[in-house]
């Protein structure tokens, strides 16, 4: 009889409900930790890709803008009464003197009410100011944060190294007197890393010799 009862006890051995509950809880905690780690790694990789992509976009557009400004023939007067317009807009002609030229304007939208707020765009114009109707627009860079940091996109310097816009240019004609242009672009991928800032100095090449025309 004792042998028979022992056999029944061995057959009924197994996990209790408490043991199963504890094991399940531990398994869920391990799975949650695994997925949290996986999500964190995925987000880090995504942020890294966005950062690299954003830096490349800023550099590509900045290089293109700098190349065009070096080839400006000539720089154009914006014919504006507000000197700060020069901090966010630049306009110039491309092409040989006396030949077929294109008028190009790069402008940075700082109006919060505008649908193109914080966008830097390249516009092909019908003619030089004041008859400068926009023929076409190319979008190059969005979420440009300069307006938030208060840093101008364009800064013009004369032969004395004077910031012509900050110091006023009533006696300084940017079209003829500016010899160097400093460009600053701060942009982010949103969502993504903090804004990336890239700068470049551009020497203005196609100018009249001896600062001719500069007052």
Lowest mean pLDDT among 63-67, 73-77, 145-149, 210-214: 210-214
β-pairing verdict for 89-94 and 102-108: antiparallel
Task: Kindly report the number of other CB atoms within 10 A of residue 15's CB atom.
Answer: 10
Amino acid 104: pLDDT: 93
Nearest in space to 76 (alpha carbons), one of 142, 141, 156, 151: 156
Question: pLDDT tens digits, residue range 118-152?
Answer: 999 999 998 888 777 899 998 778 889 999 989 99
Rounded Cα gap, residues 215 and 210, in angstroms:
12
Domain residues of the chain, as ranges? 47-211
Name the pTM for this structure: 0.72
Amino acid 8: pLDDT: 47
């Amino acid at each position: 009889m004792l042998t028979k009862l022992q056999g029944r006890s061995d057959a009924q051995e197994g996990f209790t409900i408490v043991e199963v509950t504890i094991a399940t809880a531990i398994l869920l905690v391990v799975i949650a930790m695994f997925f949290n780690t996986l999500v964190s790694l995925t987000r880090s990789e995504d942020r890294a890709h966005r950062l690299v992509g954003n830096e490349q976009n800023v550099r590509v557009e900045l290089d293109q803008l700098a190349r065009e400004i070096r080839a400006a023939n000539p720089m154009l007067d914006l014919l504006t009464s507000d000197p700060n317009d020069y901090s966010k807009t630049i306009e110039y002609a491309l092409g040989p003197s006396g030949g077929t030229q294109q008028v190009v304007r790069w402008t940075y939208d700082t109006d919060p009410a505008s649908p193109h707020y914080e966008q830097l765009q390249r516009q092909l114009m019908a003619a030089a100011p004041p008859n400068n109707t926009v023929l076409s627009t190319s979008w190059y860079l969005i979420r440009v944060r300069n307006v938030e940091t208060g840093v101008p996109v364009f800064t013009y310097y004369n032969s004395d190294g004077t910031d012509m816009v900050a110091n006023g240019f009533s006696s300084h004609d940017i079209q003829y007197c500016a010899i160097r242009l400093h460009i600053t672009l701060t942009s982010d991928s949103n969502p993504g890393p903090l804004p990336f800032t890239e700068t470049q100095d551009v020497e203005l090449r196609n100018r009249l010799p001896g600062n001719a025309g500069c007052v």
